[in-house]
Amino acid sequence: MSDLAEAIGHAILNGADAQDQLALVRRTADADLVTADLLQQAVNAARAGGHSWSAIGGTLGLTRQAAQQRFGREPAAPGADDPEERWLGPVTAFDEMQELELAGRLGWRTTGAGLLRHHMVRTATQWEHKRVVWTGGLGRYEKDGWQVGCRAFPWVYLVRDTGEPAANG
């Protein structure tokens, strides 16, 4: 983390040109979104593992109440009133790819992931799903038509529209 902070500080102090400054803002904002999501997932995993809000708050330099207020709200179930959105789960790392394959044939694609579940959106076409380790560049997959459905450390879930009509189910 200090390397990133050092690189940002270096770019600011050395008077990067306007284009570089905007690129730095964009990349830093992207990093902020990703790390906020990772932190939420880590807190969810710690809670699922039995850790108290006091222990989590202490680790983060927060009070128990502040940690619970910041991270404890269960996200509203997307699509509760929309039949074209739903949560798939509970699933584990052992069975989720089979479940995603079945859902994909019915036109469902993953757009988000939570603890033991995937947020799915229904389309008129079938979808392929792929899970890869989050290691950096995804260009090799994008060349083959894959796009990021969601990130859930340590995985990236990729989706690809097959162009085939969704199966009835």
Q: How far is Cα 1 from Cα 11, in angstroms, rounded to an integer?
A: 16
Residue 67 reports pLDDT greater than 60: yes
Q: How far is Cα 110 from Cα 166, in angstroms, rounded to an integer?
A: 15
Range 10-21 average pLDDT: 69
Range 132-138 average pLDDT: 82
Range 63-84 average pLDDT: 71
pLDDT value at position 79? 47
CB 112 within 8 A of CB 85: no
Cβ burial, residue 126 (10 Å; 0-12/13-18/19+): buried
Residue 75 reports pLDDT greater than 70: no
pLDDT value at position 12? 65
Could you tell me the pTM of the whole model?
Answer: 0.58
Q: pLDDT class for 1, splitting at 50, 70, 90? A: low
Range 34-54 average pLDDT: 83
Q: pLDDT class for 78, splitting at 50, 70, 90? A: very low
